[in-house]
Amino acid sequence: MSHIVPQPGILDIELYVSGKSTIDGVTDVVKLSSNENPLGPSEAAVEAHRRAGYELNRYPSSEHLSLRTAIADVHGLDVDRILMGAGSDEIIAFLCQAFAGPGDEVLYTEHGFSMYRVSALAAGATPVVAPECDRVTDVDALLAACTKNTKLVFIANPNNPTGTMIGGNEVARLAEGLPEQAILVLDGAYADYVEGFDGGASLVDMRDNVVMTRTFSKLYGLGGLRVGWGYGPKPIIDVLNRVRGPFNLTAPALAAAEAAIKDLPYVQKCRQENAKWRAWLAEALAEHGVPSDTSTANFILARFSDQQEAEACDDYLKSQGLIVRRVAGYGLPNCLRITVGDEASCRRVAHAVGQFKGGAR
């Protein structure tokens, strides 16, 4: 028995399995497993990234002021209460590291995002799961699961992998009802897909116990660069800045994200294309006997009759070069999560699901 052992909780973390991107023996592969923007990033972002490549000898900004200012301008936020992370995953990690430890509880919902559990365990805290109601966040169940040890409550709104969301009144009721030592974290990874939705920023402004996280990985098409941000009350952001490494974002990533957020017409185009093909895909799947909840994000949670059918469909889609996401690990064994791709990909996946349902296996 070795004397070298990690901190308690670490070995309870299951190694993350990311969305596959290749299939052995298939060349024309479509990846619909990681909720990436099928249209890619803004041209302006690609150009800014390329230009930043000429100064790789220089350390990046540690304050991220230029990017934070751009974010504050676009969203109408207080620049001093924005914090940048290497993906919003890093903001989630900072929150757990700074506010939860051994004996503390980190609460999230039944089909909640996997990083909440990972970051809670990494901090030595105890993950606690509250049930959802028909794949929708249940505020009463969350409030009922709170204890004197609850330090963080995470909800993604819209949620991944369900695609559902709850209204502002419900979110406000949750924030109001939490025990006084707990922070509500609104994960807005998919908030950009909801026209006119602020992701909960106005609630952050009104309260001292709410933090919002956002990302450039989804609608902005920059998952490869790892840029996310958080917005919260000044005292909380000050704490998170103490655990943040000074150079946690690279210069090319900062430059690309700034150009991306300023390219408003492109953002709008991506949002509209997603909404259009999301509706088309949901309807096409329903016609083939595969229902889904109304999605507010850039993916659809396709429901099959049981785990066996979902897995058989996944195998069939793979044989057709289509990679979607199994979500048994999220407590949804009878479902497949399908990212809304471009028109050609949506048509291909709908066609293949139709063939599968029609008996081709």
228 binds ligand PLP (CB under 6 A): yes
Binding residue (CB under 6 A) for ligand PLP from 37, 215, 250, 296: 215
The whole-angstrom separation of Cα 141 and Cα 137 is 8
Query: The tokens 């399908």 sit on which residue?
Result: 338
Binding residue (CB under 6 A) for ligand PLP from 124, 223, 233, 331: 223
Least separation in angstroms between residue 358's CB and ligand PLP is 32
* Surface-to-core class of residue 304, CB atoms within 10 Å of its CB (0-12 exposed, 13-18 middle, 19+ buried): buried
**Cβ proximity to ligand PLP, 139 vs 297, nearer residue:** 297
Question: Residue 34: which of 359, 337, 343, 350 has the closest Cα?
Answer: 337
Instruction: Please say whether the beta carbons of 281 and 91 come within 8 A.
Output: no
* Surface-to-core class of residue 262, CB atoms within 10 Å of its CB (0-12 exposed, 13-18 middle, 19+ buried): middle
Segment 38 to 97, residues that bind ligand PLP, using CB under 6 A: 87-89
Query: The tokens 């990436």 sit on which residue?
Result: 36
119 binds ligand PLP (CB under 6 A): no
Widest CA span in the chain: 60
DSSP-derived letter for residue 206 is H
**Cβ proximity to ligand PLP, 199 vs 348, nearer residue:** 199
The residue number whose beta carbon is nearest to ligand PLP equals 87
Segment 161 to 200, residues that bind ligand PLP, using CB under 6 A: 187, 189
Least separation in angstroms between residue 249's CB and ligand PLP is 12
CA atoms within 13 A on the CB side of 147: 11
DSSP-derived letter for residue 333 is T
Q: Which two tokens stand for residue 102?
A: 């051994």
**Cβ proximity to ligand PLP, 60 vs 112, nearer residue:** 112
Least separation in angstroms between residue 197's CB and ligand PLP is 15
Least separation in angstroms between residue 337's CB and ligand PLP is 10
Segment 135 to 164, residues that bind ligand PLP, using CB under 6 A: 156, 160
**Cβ proximity to ligand PLP, 105 vs 187, nearer residue:** 187
341 binds ligand PLP (CB under 6 A): no
Per DSSP bridges, beta strands 183-187 and 210-215 are parallel
Q: How many helices (H) and strands (E) does the chain have?
A: 12, 12
Least separation in angstroms between residue 220's CB and ligand PLP is 10
Q: Which two tokens stand for residue 212?
A: 């919002």
**Cβ proximity to ligand PLP, 9 vs 223, nearer residue:** 223
Q: Does an H or E element contain 125, and which?
A: none
Residues near ligand PLP (CB under 6 A), total:
12
Least separation in angstroms between residue 302's CB and ligand PLP is 17
Binding residue (CB under 6 A) for ligand PLP from 108, 113, 220, 304: 113
**Cβ proximity to ligand PLP, 99 vs 356, nearer residue:** 99
The whole-angstrom separation of Cα 163 and Cα 178 is 24
Least separation in angstroms between residue 215's CB and ligand PLP is 3
Instruction: Please say whether the beta carbons of 296 and 190 come within 8 A.
Output: yes
Positions touching ligand PLP (CB under 6 A) are 87-89, 113, 156, 160, 187, 189, 215, 217, 223, 228
